[in-house]
């Protein structure tokens, strides 16, 4: 608890799912949370909920496909609170489909959000972390970053990339920065909503119903890593329901 109270955490994709659950948990434990997502109405409602519960939250409209948006989120954290302890690169999309569908726009979206969004977060926060002499990157990958299956090749590729980028960053970070990857399995979120191939969507929804864990489980894993002493780096957590093999 003492390692979380008073820290400043910026979170992308904060308005729903893992991001929302993590924001609520960290704020409850005393963190000052800086919320970023595209939907400002949901962000405002989440920030208000945190403040009314006695927490400290602010927010900014953030599309991680826009480097300037991610930079502005990090700047907001630093300007409002004087530091940034943790950046959680959580925003992600999963409009999966068979390659034969040739949904190139969906491929681009996954690359732009899942890979470039993480890189933009690193580009924004790394100079801040270097300057202040401490900082913690938490990048959300997936169990799909270990193994791919039909219909998920592009999505899996983006999550393999997040793990590779994170490991490279960890090796370059030195002994004063921390870098962590969280690789969740199925989570009870709205990830299937943007899948346009109806048969693939039905498969995902069935798997979610049978295998998904609550977003709060991932939030607790993130909190566990943050609350470790500053010289202890939890490099990766793979978390899935016991039903998922």
Beta bridge partners, 239, equal 184
Structure tokens that stand for 176 in this block = 């004063």
Catalytic residue selected from 59, 81, 120, 155: 155
Nearest to 86 by CA among 215, 182, 171: 182
Contact 145, 160 (CB under 8 A): yes
Q: Sheet harboring 32-37: ordered strands across?
A: 56-61, 32-37, 8-12, 86-89, 135-140, 177-184, 236-239
The DSSP result for 87-154, as a single string, is: EEE---------GGG--HHHHHHHIIIIIIHHHHHHHHHHHHHHHHT-EEEEEE--GGGT---TT-HH
81 is catalytic: no
Which positions are catalytic?
155
């Amino acid at each position: 608890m003492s390692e979380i109270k008073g820290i400043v955490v910026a979170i992308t994709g904060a308005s729903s799912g893992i991001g929302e659950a993590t924001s609520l948990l960290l704020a409850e434990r005393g963190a000052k949370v800086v919320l970023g997502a595209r939907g400002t109405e949901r962000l405002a409602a989440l920030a208000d909920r945190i403040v009314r519960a006695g927490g400290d939250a602010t927010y900014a409209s953030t599309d991680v496909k826009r480097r300037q948006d991610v930079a502005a989120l990090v700047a907001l954290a630093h300007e409002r609170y004087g530091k940034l302890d943790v950046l959680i690169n959580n925003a992600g999309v999963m409009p999966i489909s068979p390659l034969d569908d040739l949904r190139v726009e969906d491929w681009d979206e996954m690359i732009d959000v899942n890979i470039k969004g993480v890189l933009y977060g690193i580009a924004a926060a790394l100079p801040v972390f270097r300057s202040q002499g401490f900082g913690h990157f938490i990048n959300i990958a997936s169990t799909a970053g270990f193994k791919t299956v039909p219909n998920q090749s592009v999505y899996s590729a983006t999550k393999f990339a997040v793990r590779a980028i994170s490991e490279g960053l960890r090796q370059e970070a030195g002994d004063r920065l921390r870098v962590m990857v969280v690789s969740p399995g199925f989570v009870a979120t709205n990830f299937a909503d943007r899948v346009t191939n109806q048969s693939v969507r039905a498969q995902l929804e069935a798997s979610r119903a049978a295998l998904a864990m609550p977003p709060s489980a991932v939030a607790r894993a993130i909190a566990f890593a943050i609350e470790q002493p500053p010289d202890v780096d939890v490099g990766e957590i793979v978390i899935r329901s016991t039903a998922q093999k």
